[in-house]
Amino acid sequence: MQRRVQPTSEAVRAANRARVVDILRRSGSATRAELVSGTGLSRATVSSLIGELADRGLVSELPQPAADAPGRPPTRLALNRAAGLAIAVDVGVRHVAVAVGDLSRSVLAERWVSLPQGHSAERGTHIVMRSIETTLAEAEADRDQIVGAAISIAAPIAPDSGRFLVPGVLPGWNGSELAELIGRTWGIPAAVENDANLGALGESVVAAPPGGDPHGQDLLYVKLASRVGLGIAFGSRGAFGSRIHRGHDGYAGELGHVTADPDGPACWCGRRGCLELYAGAEGMLARLAARGIRIDDVNELIRRAEAGDADVLAVIGDGTRRLARSLGALALVLNPSVIILGGELTALGPLLLDPVHAELAAVPFGAPVAVRTSTLGPRASLMGALALVLSESSRFTDQSSAPVAANPGRVTAPAAAPSRSLKSPSHPSPSRPSL
Ligand SMILES: [Zn+2]
């Protein structure tokens, strides 16, 4: 008896292929069983799509880890560099960092450069562009392989315009102009995002081991540096990995401007007594200066705290208690699985962690909220920028969206990216066997 074959249009197949690729981008790697459950497609369809992607050099099997238990662990699949490369840029007050990674989350090259004090925006932009060029060269990246760039900025950003809301941070810099320049130069989509949001996304990737909870974490990342920022990354049922929660019009996470004392000092945001005036390093230094104690920077603040300076300890103790109370309120409202503390002030160690632990242990409902310092440390926002290109795949295209050509060595560019020609893989990864 002849088997009845259901006709499958290329559009349906392309949509199914995009679902497989999307899960691989979000999760870094997946087994065939995870792809079947994640897409809802049949095992045969998933196998056929994986075979097609492998034939085009876009997907590889990951090397098997040494098995502790008897029985062969299921093979994990990942996108390889032929599927696309992502550029991550982190612009801080004193540094520029650039990473180039593939869509399986492997970092191929990473570069950190100091920003000179009092630099002009023009000079800073030049340093960013040169750093990207050098890092791409170190990664031996083919220009046509780049699918997008995400730029982390250590400042509150107006979501509609990409402009910075604090004039004093990175004077003259404009987030959207930098993104446009990067996008234009390399012919790719480029997005700018707040560093705390990206810190949350970066930590959510590290917190999710391969084969771990496919729905992602409900995670809060609190950046404690000159100012106080909050990134919220939520997991969701039926979707792999966590997503940044930006709120109604993009301003979610302005924890630094929750009122800690309505009669407190004036804040740049126009209100009084905002939390970051007490719990951020700049605010702590200002409070000490008001008492006639001049401390130049965060490092000296931490040194004086470690040395037991009573005035410094009093200001830090007051700030961390106010922060802890706000985090306790956040835990009640949002019920996160973990709160991660990042930024320079995490060097305070127990002076910071103890009051936060105590406050969260007193939350009356649910399992105790885990609190820890950032696993990625200063790299959290940079790794989050890479993760953004992977997790928001609708904003950043990849080679798998190209239609299959008769000659697999020459593939036509999709209509969505007419200016780019797509090539067959030019850098097969030697460490990963092909399927
Ligand atoms: Zn404020």
Q: Would residue 69 count as lying in a domain?
A: no
**DSSP per position, 86-105:** EEEEEE-SSEEEEEEEETTS
> Could you read off the pLDDT of 102-147 as tens digits, one per residue?
888 789 999 999 988 888 888 889 999 999 999 999 999 988 889 9
Averaged pLDDT for residues 14-34:
86
Q: Would residue 425 count as lying in a domain?
A: no
Domains identified in the chain, total number: 3
pLDDT at position 435 over 60: no
Q: Is 232 found in the same domain as 188? A: no
- Residue 230 Cα to ligand 1 midpoint, Å, equals 14
Q: What pLDDT score was predicted for residue 25?
A: 83
> Could you read off the pLDDT of 324-358 as tens digits, one per residue?
999 999 999 999 999 999 999 999 999 999 999 99
Q: Would residue 347 count as lying in a domain?
A: yes
- Residue 250 Cα to ligand 1 midpoint, Å, equals 17
Domain of residue 24, residue span: 10-64+74-82+402-414
- Residue 240 Cα to ligand 1 midpoint, Å, equals 35
Q: Is 98 found in the same domain as 220? A: no
CATH code (residue 25): 1.10.10.10
- Residue 233 Cα to ligand 1 midpoint, Å, equals 23
* Pairwise CA distance, residues 256 & 147, whole Å: 34
Q: Is 318 found in the same domain as 239? A: yes
Q: Is 213 found in the same domain as 102? A: no
Q: What pLDDT score was predicted for residue 212?
A: 57
CATH code (residue 185): 3.30.420.40
Q: What pLDDT score was predicted for residue 413?
A: 30
* Pairwise CA distance, residues 331 & 346, whole Å: 19
pLDDT at position 310 over 80: yes
- Residue 326 Cα to ligand 1 midpoint, Å, equals 14
Q: Would residue 422 count as lying in a domain?
A: no
The label of the residue with tokens 């992977």 reads: 390
- Residue 153 Cα to ligand 1 midpoint, Å, equals 19
Q: Would residue 429 count as lying in a domain?
A: no
Q: Is 407 found in the same domain as 324? A: no
Q: Is 100 found in the same domain as 49? A: no
**Angle in degrees, CA 256, 372, 94, rounded to 5:** 55
Look at 200-214, 274-288, 343-357 and tell me which has the smallest mean pLDDT.
200-214
Q: Would residue 293 count as lying in a domain?
A: yes
Q: Is 222 found in the same domain as 323? A: yes
- Residue 272 Cα to ligand 1 midpoint, Å, equals 7
- Residue 383 Cα to ligand 1 midpoint, Å, equals 28
Percent of the chain with pLDDT over 70: 82
- Residue 320 Cα to ligand 1 midpoint, Å, equals 17
Q: Is 233 found in the same domain as 136? A: no
> Could you read off the pLDDT of 60-74 as tens digits, one per residue?
888 776 655 566 778
- Residue 277 Cα to ligand 1 midpoint, Å, equals 8
Q: Is 169 found in the same domain as 142? A: yes
User: What are the tokens at 67?
Assistant: 């098995």
H or E element at residue 283:
helix 281-290
Which residue type occupies 222? V
Q: Is 109 found in the same domain as 58? A: no
Q: Is 277 found in the same domain as 368? A: yes
> Could you read off the pLDDT of 381-393 as tens digits, one per residue?
999 999 898 877 7
Are 274 and 268 spatial neighbours (Cβ–Cβ below 8 Å)? no
- Residue 260 Cα to ligand 1 midpoint, Å, equals 10
